[in-house]
Structures are given as structure tokens and as C-alpha cells.
Amino acid sequence: MVFSVFFPPAAAVQAAKVPVVYYLSGLTCTDDNFIQKAGAQRHAAELGLALVAPDTSPRGLGIEGEDDSWDFGTGAGFYVDATADKWKRYRMYSYILRELPQVLRTLPGLDLDNASICGHSMGGHGALVLALKNPGAFKSVSAFAPICNPTQVPWGQKAFAGYLGDSWQEAGKAYDATELVKAYTGPQLPVLMDTGGDDEFLKTQLHPWAFEEAAKGKLQVTSRMNEGYDHSYFTIASFVSDHLDFHARYLLASGPRI
């Protein structure tokens, strides 16, 4: 697995450790997309936040059919632990939650006990699910155009049927943010979501309103519908500073280091 880490200047101070923001990318992406396109490094440097950008799936495993479709297989791990025999090496949930942090702990300068998580589209789904299933693991969670109710939309149904097998309809609820938040009883979790009003996938795949309704009385959710914005990295670049400021509010006890 390949991942990218951005270290802010504050990490170069002797014995200093900086908070971490994980960024989970969406369908078809690699670890490079966010690093190259979002323009997040400058503001992360000012705030004193490290950025960790993992890939979206295993690659090159030689599984028959892994490259047949853009929305399943390579580049489309959906941040679940697959249970269908053919796909059992697709364990992106465990990779993000346990395996990647183990590797990161070998690097100096990262405070992995002080982390938040963010993502886009499929990665927004992953960020919400990881935060909801692991209360207290992340100080805050944010998402750009997240797939909020995957058991009810085509992208999620295709992925869950393939990775989770015949029982996907029930098993998929464990990876559905809207279903998870209904039963959430953990500590207060701040959530920020930005979705484009002109996002071509809004009505067919994203369904932020389902999560908003289910989260009422459960979480501190700020969900913004931004007219004129779509599903692209132009949208992410437009609001990424807001998201970093949001996470800094919970990660930096002394406030942003600007």
C-alpha cells in the first residue's frame, strides 16, 4: 500500500508532535489526488496539522475482475472489510483504522492520538463510518459530498453486494453512516459536510438529507448545500480551508497556529 504524508513546519521542531488529519479519497482516486489537487498543504502548514492521504484500495492483487469496473475493485475499496471469499484481501476499514496507524507510529513528529478524519464521496462515506463505529478515535469528522446512505443507492449497493456477499443488505448497515448514527451513543462528535447544489450525483448517490435527519439529536452536524458547486476537486479546493479550520478547533488546544 502507498500513502502520502504532509508534515507541517511545526513537525520539524525537536520533540514536537503535530495533530493528524486523515483524508480518504473517492472512487477511482489514489493517494495523489488530494495532495496534488486540493491545495490543502499551505493552510495545513499555517495551522500546524499533518495530512495523511491513503489509497482507495489494494492494487495489483491479480483478482479476476478487479479492473473491470471503475466503481468496484481497484480504486473502489469502499472502506469496508470484505467478507466474500474472492475479495477478502480488500480490508480498507481495518487498514485505515489499525494497519496504517501502526506504520505511521514509526515516523517521528505525528501525534496519532490526536487525530481527525475527512473524505470525499466514497471517502466521505468512509470517514463518517470510521468515526461513528469508533467513538473517541477521532476528535472531529468532515466530508465533501459523502455517500451518506450507501445501502440505498447504486454505488453502495454494487460495492456491498460484491464485497459482503449475499447478506449484504443486513451486513451493509454496519458500513452505512445513516444507519450507524441512528444507534450512536458515543461522545459528542462534531461533523461538517459540504455538498454541491449542482453535484450530478446528489439525488442518485449522495443523499445527505438522510444522514441529517437520522443525526438529529445525536450529533453536532453542520451540513451546507453550496449552490453552483459540483462533485469535482474544484469544490474541494474551494472549501478545504474551512474543513482544516474546523478540525483545528478540536485538535489544537491552544487554537490554530497562524
* Identified catalytic residue from 116, 121, 142, 238: 121
Query: Which of the residues 43, 125, 207, 231 is marked catalytic?
Result: 231
What's the confidence (pLDDT) of residue 14?
74
In the chain the domains, ranked by start, together with CATH numbers, are 3-252 (3.40.50.1820)
Q: Is 254 a catalytic residue?
A: no
CA separation for the pair 192, 104 (Å, rounded): 26
Distance (Å, whole) CA 120 – CA 194: 10
Over residues 196-213, the mean pLDDT reads 98
- In the block, cell 478524519 appears at 117
pLDDT > 70 fraction of the chain, expressed in percent and rounded = 98
Strands laid side by side in the 110-120 sheet: 3-6, 50-54, 18-24, 110-120, 141-144, 190-196, 220-226
Confidence band for 255, pLDDT divided at 50, 70 and 90 = very low
257: confidence class by pLDDT, cuts 50, 70, 90: very low
* The total number of residues written for the chain in this structure: 258
Please determine, for residue 256, whether its predicted confidence score (pLDDT) is greater than 70: no
- Per-residue pLDDT tens over the stretch 142-168: 999 999 999 999 999 999 999 999 999
Instruction: Enter the pTM of the model.
Output: 0.96
| Residue pLDDT, tens place only, 36-91 | 999 999 999 999 999 999 999 999 999 999 999 999 999 999 999 999 999 999 99
Is the pLDDT at 141 greater than 50, yes or no? Answer: yes
Element (H, E) at 247: helix 233-251
Band of pLDDT at residue 258, cut at 50, 70 and 90:
very low
165: left (phi over 0), alpha (psi -120 to 50) or beta: left
Please report the pLDDT score of residue 16 as a whole number. Answer: 85
Mean pLDDT along residues 125-144 = 98
Q: What is the largest CA-CA distance in the chain?
A: 53
The answer to whether 199 is a known catalytic residue is yes
> What number is the average pLDDT over the span 15-23?
93
Among 116, 199, 238, 243, the one annotated catalytic: 199
pLDDT score for 13 = 87
